[in-house]
Structure 1
Amino acid sequence: MLKSEGDEESSHLTKPLQSKRFRPSQVKEIIKKVLTDRLTGHEYHPENTPSTCREISDEIRNLMKDLDYDRYKYNVQVVMGESKGQGLHFSFKALWDWNIDGFAQESFYNDSLFAVAVVFGTYYYS
């Protein structure tokens, strides 16, 4: 099967075009909008938290597809908890190319709960 000229170019890219790079500022806007829309006025209920986190993760991931970052894979993590004045620390380790891969995070707080969402965008080399 013959490849078109456009297919040939895209199949041998070793890094994304500048216009198709992961842009944390755009991703932060998506995360903030989803968290605000979904959690404003929401009260913490431990029995609903797993499904709420999953729904928020799915919504963020689906909106990421609209950004059309070619050949990026997304990992979306959402953590929610009851707001009682406590702190939260979490970290991650990954194989990472700081020149191409990226991440964005955003937080939401109200009197009842806190939520932190992080999106990792890693470029898929072929």
Structure 2
Amino acid sequence: MATEIEENDAQPENTYMIRPNFHHKFKPADVKQVLHEVLKEELDGKDYDEEQIAEWTQNIGNKTKKRLKGMGYDRYKFVVQVIIGEQRGQGVRMGCRCFWDFDTDNYTQDVYMNKTLFCVAAAYGVFFY
């Protein structure tokens, strides 16, 4: 009987938070800085290599999500989209549409380019009610 009570006491109570407080709200400027750092760390000095693109995009996405989780954004779900292409002077357009709460949810993006490749990375933060 005592074991059941101890197990029940260990469970956190629901806070019924419907909005994050100001300090825990997704801040696009801070997240953009993280994206910029990760892109520079992962792509500096690399030339476009079609066979490596899948690995690079996955590494960038995973590293970005890991850093975002460490920034104290409680109850946020993150989506990171990474696109890498060969730099040949072509134009590229990227767009997105989202159905979300403008008070709590947000996104940011950053672009990295060198002589042989370009990379566009976007990070979305969606508050989990």
The corresponding residue for 1:45 is: 49
Separation in structure 2 between the aligned mates of residue 53 and residue 17 of structure 1, nearest angstrom? 32
- What SS does the corresponding residue of 1:11 show, helix, strand or coil? coil
- What SS does the corresponding residue of 1:44 show, helix, strand or coil? coil
Deviation at 1:68, TM superposition (A): 1.1
Separation in structure 2 between the aligned mates of residue 11 and residue 120 of structure 1, nearest angstrom? 24
Residue deviations 1:84-110 (CA, integer Å, cap 9, x gap) = 111111222222111110101000000
The corresponding residue for 1:108 is: 112
Deviation at 1:82, TM superposition (A): 0.4
- What SS does the corresponding residue of 2:78 show, helix, strand or coil? strand
Unaligned runs of 5+ in 1: none
Unaligned runs of 5+ in 2: 1-7
Residue deviations 1:36-75 (CA, integer Å, cap 9, x gap) = 1111111001111011101110000001011110100000
- What SS does the corresponding residue of 2:36 show, helix, strand or coil? helix
- What SS does the corresponding residue of 1:46 show, helix, strand or coil? coil
Q: How many residues align?
A: 122
Separation in structure 2 between the aligned mates of residue 25 and residue 94 of structure 1, nearest angstrom? 19
Residue 103 of structure 2 corresponds to residue 99 of structure 1: yes
Structure with the greater alpha carbon radius of gyration: 2
Amino acid at match of 1:15: R
Q: State TM-score, norm by structure 1.
A: 0.91
Deviation at 1:3, TM superposition (A): 7.8
The corresponding residue for 1:84 is: 88
The corresponding residue for 2:31 is: 27
Separation in structure 2 between the aligned mates of residue 3 and residue 20 of structure 1, nearest angstrom? 24
Report the identity percentage.
31
The corresponding residue for 1:13 is: 17
Structure 1 residue ranges (4+ consecutive) displaced by more than 3 angstroms after TM superposition: 1-4
Separation in structure 2 between the aligned mates of residue 57 and residue 96 of structure 1, nearest angstrom? 22
